[in-house]
Amino acid sequence: MDSDGQYEQQVVWAVVGTGIGPLLLAATREGLVNVVFHATDGVRDKALERLASRLGREPVEAPDSPLLAVAIRQVEAYFAGERRDFELPLDWSLISGFNRQVLRELASGVPYGAVVGYGDLAGRVGQPGAAQAVGMAMGSNPLPVVVPCHRVVESDGGIGGFGGGLETKRKLLALEGVLPEPLF
Consecutive sets of 10 residues in the chain, 184 residues long: mean pLDDT of each? 48 96 97 97 97 95 94 97 96 96 97 96 95 95 97 90 92 92 61
Which helix (H) or strand (E) element contains residue 102?
Answer: helix 97-109
Rounded distance between C-alpha atoms, residue 168 and residue 112, angstroms:
16
The amino acid that residue 17 corresponds to is G
Determine contact, residues 8/55, Cβ cutoff 8 Å. Answer: no
Give the number of other CB atoms < 10 A from CB of residue 23. Answer: 22
Closest CA to 9 of 25, 26, 24: 26
Q: Find the radius of gyration of the CA atoms of the chain.
A: 17
Q: Tell me, what's the pLDDT at 157?
A: 82
Sign of CA dihedral 61, 75, 92, 87: negative
103 is catalytic: no
Rounded distance between C-alpha atoms, residue 7 and residue 182, angstroms:
48
Closest CA to 49 of 71, 68, 24: 24
Determine contact, residues 46/101, Cβ cutoff 8 Å. Answer: no
Quick one: residue 10, left, alpha or beta (phi over 0 = left, psi -120 to 50 = alpha)?
beta
Bridge-partner residues for 77, per DSSP?
Answer: none
Determine contact, residues 115/147, Cβ cutoff 8 Å. Answer: no
| Catalytic residue of the set 149, 152, 153, 175 | 149
HSE-up of 10 (CA within 13 Å, CB side)? 13
Q: What is the pTM of this model?
A: 0.91
